[in-house]
Amino acid sequence: MKKTPMTVVGAEKLKTELHRLKTVERPRIIQAIAEARSHGDLSENAEYHAAKEQQSFVEGRIAELDIKLATAQIIDPKTVNADGRVVFGATLKLMEEHSGQEVTYQIVGDHEADIAKGMISISSPIARALIGKELGDMVEVQVPGGLRSYEILEIRYI
C-alpha cells in the first residue's frame, strides 16, 4: 500500500474527526433509525430514509478516514534534519518577484491542502519547485496563470 505524507497536525485533525464520527454521530444516527422504525411502515417513513442516508454518509466517511490514516506517513517537520532546505512540512515566506507581494505557505500532504489557509499540497507545482531549495534562492514556477518567480525569504520547521 502506497504511503502518503501527512503532517502531525493533519493526522490529529483526521483522528479527531474519526473519533467524533464513531462516538457521537454513529450512535446518534443509530438512535434516529431505531426511533423512526418504531413509527411503523418503513416504505413511507421519511425520517427512516433520511437517517439511513446519514448513516451511509457517516460510514463512508469513517471508511475514508480509516484508509487515509492507515496509509499516512506522518512527518513532524520539527524533527526533520533539513539543513536549511525546503522539505515536506516546512513553512515558507516567499516574495513574488513581479508584484513584490509576500505569501506564506506550508507544504503539506494532499489530504491537508487548503490554499485559503496557506497550506499547499506536496504535489502542487509550487511545492515541487520549492523542495530542496534554500533561503535566498529564486524559484520559477509554471502555474496556470503563467510563469511566476519567488524568492525564499524564510524557512521554518514548526
pLDDT digits (tens, 9 = 90+) for 39-79: 877 777 888 889 999 999 999 999 999 999 999 999 998 88
Residues near 85 by Cβ (< 8 Å), separated by ≥ 6?
A: 132, 133, 134, 155
| Residue 128 confidence (pLDDT) | 95
Give start-end residues of each CATH 1.10.287.180 domain in the chain: 4-75
pTM of the model: 0.83
User: CA–CA separation, 103 vs 101, rounded Å?
Assistant: 7
Mention the CATH class of domain 77-156.
alpha beta
Residues of the chain with CATH 3.10.50.30: 77-156
What architecture (CATH level 2) is domain 4-75?
Orthogonal Bundle (1.10)
Short-list 151, 147, 5, 143, CA closest to 87 = 5
Residues 140, 69: Cα–Cα separation, whole Å: 34
User: What's the average model confidence in pLDDT over 143-149?
Assistant: 87
